[in-house]
Every structure is written in structure tokens, then in C-alpha cells.
Amino acid sequence: MLDGTVQIVTGGAGGLGAAASKILAANGATVVVNDLEPDTGDPSARQVVEQIINNGGDAAAHAGDVTSTNYVGRLISETVEEHGRLDGIVNFAGMLRDGYLTNMSDEEWNSVIDVHLTGHFTLLRAAGRYWQNGNRETETSDIDGQGSGSAETRSFLTVSSPSAKGNPGQANYAAAKAGILGLTRTAAMELAQFGVRVNALVPVAYTGMTNAFLDPDAYPVEKVAPAVAYLLSDEATRVTGCTVRVAGDAIALLSEPTPERIAFNEGGWDVATLSDRFEETLGDDTNLDRSDVPDW
């Protein structure tokens, strides 16, 4: 399915990223596994690479911070220098700094937005430039004479979350994950002319970030990984701009923001008319109090 392709997995040292790295390699890809340099005792990208190689796969580790423009440019340029091409990226890099918004510090807000939303932007921008220009331009270098991946396999997979619908105590995380969905749709539109597909994955899986409320037997990371391999492969050449949710045995295509109910008033709406008719017109048989916590 992925024979001969080169795939980058960011946040690949553990959980979903490690599972994705392993299944990509098992399906024939050369995998560049990125993560931060680990603290003592934490899993590392090198450990995942060793497991892949021991199972007969091809992989390399690359440590760095995906919020850094310079590092991301180096990640892509060095991947191409070493492996000759780049066909796909999936970005699992993430962190949590939970807290109610009235108690949330600027650092807690900014750090989560940086890792989740800015990290996706820096990766998409650098990869998009590489694919757009036949790999002649990245953030840090100009590389000539190497292929940039076939049009069939150029693919970027963003990673959002059910928290994009809103989740108490996660204003920063929910905002970032909702922003990723808008970024995904826009990137799919802009990069289609270069043969690049961009889709969003919404995984529901037992990881270090969800172990307080998910069943590890019902939602193992291994049940999400096949969707990663499919969406990055040329089997999904007609799939782009989509949001795909994987939760245990279920897979779903999520709807995009569309009007739920529309009302017209000749001449437009003034405050008095809205006060008289808003709930009756737009809320008839529809709950307008949406402060309940959504199901995952």
C-alpha cells in the first residue's frame, strides 16, 4: 500500500504516533519518527525506530520541536536528503495544559495553541512549499535533483479531537483542535492544484492524554492506526478535505459546519424582530441551550 513512500510521523514516540509509525512501516513505508528529546524514562523516537527495524521495517528518528519554523524546515530537508523524497506527514505532536478559562494563564493558552495549531501550520506550510516547488524550497535550504513524491501519494493528515466540539477545562485545547479543522479544509483547497491531499483525523483512543476516561480494551491506539495508513496511501486519492473520526470499532465521516436552520425576514432583521422570533423561528424543536458536555 505504501511501498517506496517516505512518511513523517510527528509526536511519534508513544501512543497514537508510535502505533501509526509501526503500521506505516508494516505497509512498506520508510518512516521518519519525530518527537522531542525525551525526559528520563519517557519513550523516545529512537525506541520506536528500533522496534520497526527489528520487525523488518525501515525507519529513522528525528528529534525536534514542530512549533519551530527552522526545525520543521530542517526536518523536511534532511528527510529528503537522506531518503530522496517525501510523500506524507501525520502530526500527532501534542500536549495538555487543562484548566477553566477564567483561571487559565497566558502561558497555558499559548503553549497549547503553539503545539497543536501552530505546529500544524508550520508543517503544512513547509511541506506545501516542498511539494509545490518540486522540493526546491524549504525553510532552511534549497535542494536540487530529487523527486518530491508522486502526485498520487502526496498527503498531509492533521489530527484534531472530539474536544473541538467544546470540553470544560480545555478552552485552549478545544480552540486549537477546532482551528485545525478550518486549517485542514483551507489547505485542502489551496494545495489540491499541486496534487496534495489534506484530511483531518479525529481519533478516540486510550493514551496518556485520555486514560482517565477511556477503556483501553475498547479504544486501543491500534484500532486508529489503519485509518492513518489508508489516508496517507494512494488508495485514498479521491479523499481530501474530509474529517474522519475513528473510535474503537467505528469509523465516521464528520459533517462540516453547515446551516442547521435558516430564516428570512424581508428587509433584514432588527433587534425587536429577533427578540420576537429568534427562538420560535430557529429554535422550534431544536435545543438552543447547548452548554451540555458532548459525548465523545
Catalytically active residues, by annotation: 160, 173, 177
Which of 221-252 are b and which e, b meaning 16 or more Cβ less than 10 Å from the residue's Cβ? Answer: bebbbebbbbbbbbebeeebbbbbbbbbeeee
d(CA 33, CA 19): 11
d(CA 32, CA 49): 8
In the chain, beta strands by DSSP E: 6-10, 30-35, 58-63, 88-91, 155-159, 197-204, 243-247, 250-253
Rounded alpha-carbon distances, angstroms, from residue 135 to 90, 168, 184, 201, 281 = 19, 43, 21, 26, 53
φ, ψ (nearest 5 deg) of residue 26: -65, -25
